[in-house]
Chains A and B, each alone.
Chain A
Amino acid sequence: MQPYNLPIGNAADLCLQPGNHQVKKEKRTQRGFYRFPFAAVIGQEKVKKALLLNLINPQIGGVLLAGEKGTAKSTLVRSLNQVANGMAVVELPLNATEDRVIGSIDIEKTISVGKRSFESGILKKADGNILYIDEVNLLSEHIVNSILEVAASGVNHIEREGIACEHASRFVLIGTMNPEEGFLRSQFLDRFGIYVEVGGSKNLAERKEVIKRRLAFESSPAAFVKKWETEATELRDQVIEAQRKLPLIKISESILKLTADIVNEANCAGNRAELVMIQTAKALAALDNRKNINIDDIKEAAEFALPHRKREKPDEPEPQEEQQEQEQQDSEAEEETEANPDENPPEEEPDDPDNNSEEESEKQEEDQPDTPEADPPDSDESDDDEAREPEPEFSEILDQIDEIGRSFIVRNLNIKAIDRKKRKGEGKRIKTKTDTKQGQYIKSAMSKNKITDLAFDATLRAAAPFQSVREKNGLALVIKSEDIREKVREKRTGSTIVFVVDASGSMGAKKRMETVKGAVVSLLTDAYQKRDRVGLISFRKNEAEVLLNITRSIDLAQKCLRDLPTGGKTPLAAGLIKGYEVIKNEQRKHEDLLPILVLVSDGRTNTAITDNDPFSEAKEIGKKISFEGIQTIVVDTEVDFIKLGLAKELASCMNARYYRIEDLEADVLADAVRDLSNHSLF
C-alpha cells in the first residue's frame, strides 16, 4: 500500500476532549464515532453505579470490571463521558509504546527550534480525566509499571531523551478484563479502588430488550443517540448534584470504627481498603442526596471495595519447608505474604533489569532449587519393597476411565525463577527477543551491537536536538550513529510443559485419578493463560505413551486427559525417558525453548526398563534429566495415611520443585473474589 500521509491528529481531539462547556462537548461527541448511549444499557446496575460513584468522587481510585465477554463492560466505560461532568475517557490501547504513555521529546518542534521540547503523552491527557484500559490483564508489564508509579503519586516524572520535567497526572483508572485470560498481579489490582464482577443477564425480558436496543442503535445510530439524550442529561445532573453534596458529607466516629472492623474481618493487606470504603460510602450518600453516611452505605461500599483485596487466612507459601518449620510457619507465612504480594504469572515479569520483582525472583532462585531440607537422597531398600507391595492387586483391575475432578486456580509455580542459565547471563533474554524481531515493541534502548531492529521513532528523537548544528546537505534530518536506538520488545513467550502422568492401576484407587485429572486440568488452564505449549505422556502397564505431542492446543490436551484410562503396572522410568525424548526432540526444533517436565506420580514404581531396581533406575534417569538442564516439577499424588515420600525423594534427585497435589491450589485473591460473588459478605 502507498504510504498515505496524514497530519498527526490527536486521538483525544475529536470525541474525547475535556470541555468545560456542556454544549460544546455534546457536539464533539456527535462529531466522533457514535457510542452506544450509557443510559441505554440495560441492567448492569452495579457496574453503572460503580462508574458513577467514581465520577462523583474520583478519590475512590477507579474501578476494575471483570467479567465474561459480551456484557457491555467496554460499552459502558467508553460512553461514560456522556454522563460525566466534563471528564473525558482517555484510552490506553494495548499497542501503546512507552514514549506515548509517558510523553517524550517533540521531534518536529525540536528540529525546527533546535531546542528540546516536550510532547506530552497519554498520562498528561488523562490528567483530570478517566484513564481507560481495555483488556487490562493483557497490557505489557512494562507499561503497567509506568502507570502504577504515576497512579500512586499523581505526578508523572519524565527523565528521558534529555528531557527532565514533571506534570500532574491524576486520573480515575478504569480497567476491564475477562478473567479467562489471566489475572492481574495484586499490586496492580490494589490500585483499582473498587471492583465489580460483570455477568450477562438471565432475565428473559431484559435480554430481549438488550437485543432490541442494540439493533435499533445499529440501524440508525444518530437517531438512537439522540433519543437517549434526555436520560443522559438527567444522569449527568444527578452526578453534578452529588458532586456538590460530597464535601458536606460528615463521617462519624462510629462509621470509621465499623469500616475498620469490616476490613479487619476481611483480612485485607494494607490500609487502602478502609480509605476506599469511606470514599465510596461518601459518594453513595451523596448520590442518595444525604449528608450522613449510614450503615447500608458502608455495607454497599464493602461489596465494592473488598472483593479484590480480601484474603484467605494466609497459609504456607513454601511447601518444601513445611515439615521442618511447622512452628515458625504461621508468623513467617504472614510476613511472606506481606513482603511478596507479587502473584503475576512469571512470563509477564518485566525485562527491566532494575525492577525489583526481578530481584525477588533472583533471590528465590538461589533459595529454592537446592533445598537442603529435602529428604536425604538415599533411601532404604525396604521402602522400595513396601512401595511395590500394593501394586499387584491393582494390576488385576481392568482399565478404568475416571472423570476429571474439581479444578482450581494454580498457585504461582514461579517456573522462570529456576531458569538459571538464562537468568545468569544478564539481559540475554532481552537480546534474544530483539533478535527474533518478534514481540511487542514497548520501548527503545541504545545498542552496542549491530542494529537489526531499528527503533526509528526513538532514533529520531535522539537526533532531533542536534539538527540545528549538524551539516545537512539538503536533508531535513541528519542521523548519526550515536543516535541509533534499537527496539526493546516484550513477548509473552510461554514455556513448553510436558506432563508425565502416572496412569497405573494404583492411581485408579479411591478416585485418586479424578483428583489428579482435576489438578492437571488446573495446570493446563494456567498454561493456557500463560500461552504455554503442552505435551502429555502417560505411563502404565509396560510402557510410556505419548498421548499428545507438543502443541499449543490445550483443548486437545484436555480431551486426551479425559479419555486417559488407568490400570496396570507402573513403569515410572519409561515415562521419564519418554518425557525426556519429547523435550529433546522439541529442543532440536526450537533452540530457545524453556522446557519444563511435570511428573505427576506418587513415586511408586514396579517396572524397570533394565534389570535394575525400578526406583533406583527412575532416580538415575531423573538425575540425568536434571543434568540436561530441564526444569522439573514433581507433583506428589500420594494420599495414603502412611507416607512413603518416594516422590519427594525422586524430586530431590531430579532437583525438582516438589508439590503435594493439595498444595497446588493457589491462595490467590481471585479465590476470594469467587467466594464473595457466590455469597455476599453479610
Chain B
Amino acid sequence: MKNVNIVYPFTGIVGQEQMKKALILNVINPLLGGVLIRGEKGTAKSTAVRALADLLPIRSQVEGCAFGCDPREPGNMCCDCLSKYENHENFVETFGRMKVVDLPVSATEDRVVGTLDIEQAIKKGEKKFEPGILAQANRNILYVDEVNLLDDHIVDVLLDSAAMGVNTIEREGVSYFHPARFILVGTMNPEEGDLRPQLLDRFGMVVDVVGERNTERRIAVIKNRLAYEADKEEFAQQFINEQQNLRDRILKAKKLLKKVVYRDEMLEIAAKISIELDVDGHRADIAMIKTAMTLAAFNGSTKVSSADMLEAAELVLPHRLRRTPFEEGILNFDRVQQIISEVGSADYAAV
C-alpha cells in the first residue's frame, strides 16, 4: 500500500460546517480555549482533527527546546530559554509546523506531566526531568479522543495546565515547571458518559455533530471516502488548491485579528446574555467576544458584527448553561437573538 501517511484533506470533508469552522477559529486564535466535539460514531470527528494538521501554520521556535518556545516571546518561555534570552544569547531558530499531539486515553500520569529521567539517573546518577505529553503540546494542539473516558486524575492535571498555561511538576523527586499552552481539542461520544462540568467549562466552545441526513450529501461522503481509500495521493491532489486557499485564509485572518476592534455594544451583548441566561462565571462572556473577533477576522473584516456575535454565542454558550451537574441547560436561543438585535440595532441607529 502506498501513501499510507497522507491524511484525509480537511476541505474534503463533506458538511459538518460548524465543526470545521470551530477548529479553524482555534487555529487562527489559539487563545480561544479549544473545542469539544460531541457526537455519535462515524461523524468525521477524528478525521477532521487529524486533517487539521495539514492546515496548521508554520512558526518559528527555538532549536532543541523541548517545549518549542517562541524566540520572540519571553513571557512564555521555559526556564532555559528565558535565561538565554536574558543573557542576550542568540537562539538558533528553526521553523516547524504546528502539530496535533495525541493524548491517548490510556496515558499514565507520569507520561502526561513528565517524570524523572531514569536513564540519566542510572548512568550518571543525575536527576533530570523527562518532559511528558504536556511539554510536547506546548504551542500545539492537544488532541484527546474519547475525552470523557479519561481517568479522573489525568483530567485534573489537564485542567490545571489548560487553565494556567503552565505545567507544574512536584512528583517523583522532580520539581519543575514549564509552559504548557495548548489548544485543547477533545472528541467524545456522549452515549458513553459525560464530561464533568468543570472540564466542560474549560473548552472554549462545544460543537455537536450529527451524521449527514441529506441523501445526496451522504452519497458525497461515501464517494469521497472511497476515492480516498482507492488512491490517497490522487484524492489529496484534487483538494490541493482548496487546501492552499484555506491555509492562506487562515494566515490572513491571523494577521487581521490584531486589528479587529469591537464596539462597546458587543461587550454589552455578551454580558447581558450571560446575566439573563444565568451562566456560571465570566468565561462565557470573554469567550464570546474573542470568538466573535476571530470570526470577524476569518470573514476578512476588522469590525465585529452582530452576526459574528450570534455565531459566537452558538459556539460558546450551550455547554455553559448548566446550573448543577445534572440539570440540563436548554439554550434559549431566541432570547439570545433578541438581545443581540436589541443592543445591536440600537447601536446601528446611533451610527
Contacts and interface: CB of A to CB of B under 8 A. Distances in A.
B289 interface: yes
A525 B130 contact: no
A317 to B, nearest CB: 27
Contact of B194 (A5, A74, A441, A555): A555
B53 interface: no
Given A14-B79, A33-B76, A528-B326, A204 B272 contact: yes
Given A70-B284, A100-B174, A476 B128 contact: no
A528 B325 contact: yes
B79 A9 contact: yes
Contacts of B135: 4
Give the interface centre of B31, B157, B170, B324 by most chain A CB atoms within 10 Å.
Answer: B170
B286 A92 contact: no
Interface stretch (B7-15, B175-183, B210-218): B175-183
Given A6-B176, A93-B168, A211-B267, A477 B125 contact: yes
Interface string B31-49: 1000000000000000000
Nearest to B288: A211
A5 B198 contact: no
A207 B194 contact: no
Nearest to A96: B170
A31 interface: yes
A92 B164 CA distance: 14
A99 B125 CA distance: 18
Nearest to A214: B286
B284 A93 contact: no
A95 B157 contact: yes
Interface string A463-476: 00001000000011
Nearest to A101: B170
Interface stretch (B105-113, B231-239, B247-255, B330-338): B105-113
Contacts of B76: 33
Contact of B127 (A8, A200, A221, A552): A8
B152 A108 contact: no
A71 B166 contact: no
Give the interface centre of B78, B117, B125 by most chain A CB atoms within 10 Å.
Answer: B125
A551 B193 contact: yes
A9 B117 contact: no
Contacts of B174: 8, 100, 457
A657 interface: no
A72 B282 contact: yes
Contacts of A425: none
A457 B170 CA distance: 12
A8 B176 contact: yes
A68 B281 contact: yes
Given A11-B176, A208-B267, A95 B170 contact: yes
A316 interface: no
A108 B271 CA distance: 54
Where chain B touches its partner, the secondary structure class is: helix
B131 interface: yes
A361 interface: no
Interface string B54-69: 0000000000001000
B257 to A, nearest CB: 10
Interface string A295-335: 00000000000000000000000000000000000000000
Nearest to B116: A457
Place the interface of chain B in its size category.
35 or more
A74 B163 contact: yes
A6 B168 contact: no
B151 interface: yes
A410 to B, nearest CB: 13
Contacts of B89: none
Interface residues of A, number: 91
A116 B23 CA distance: 53
B139 interface: no
Give the interface centre of B153, B157, B165, B258 by most chain A CB atoms within 10 Å.
Answer: B153
A31 B86 contact: yes
Given A94-B160, A138-B156, A554-B326, A11 B168 contact: yes
B159 A210 contact: no
Nearest to B272: A204
A211 B194 contact: no
A211 B325 contact: no
Contact of A555 (B198, B267, B326): B326
B286 A215 contact: yes
Contacts of B194: 552-556
Interface in A505-540: 521, 524-525, 528, 531
A104 B174 CA distance: 11
A558 B328 CA distance: 9
Interface of B: 31, 66, 75-76, 78-80, 82, 86, 108-110, 113, 116-131, 135-136, 148, 151-153, 156-157, 159-160, 163-166, 168-177, 179, 190-194, 196-198, 201, 258, 264, 267-268, 270-272, 274-275, 279-286, 289-290, 324-326, 328
Q: Which 6 A-B pairs have the closest CB atoms?
A: A70-B281, A552-B193, A70-B283, A207-B271, A4-B66, A457-B172
11 contacts: A1-B131, A8-B176, A11-B168, A71-B281, A94-B153, A107-B121, A108-B125, A112-B125, A211-B267, A221-B75, A476-B124
Given A207-B267, A441-B172, A492-B152, 18 more contacts: A34-B75, A69-B197, A70-B283, A91-B168, A93-B160, A108-B126, A207-B270, A208-B264, A211-B270, A214-B282, A460-B121, A460-B173, A477-B125, A521-B326, A531-B152, A552-B194, A555-B194, A555-B328
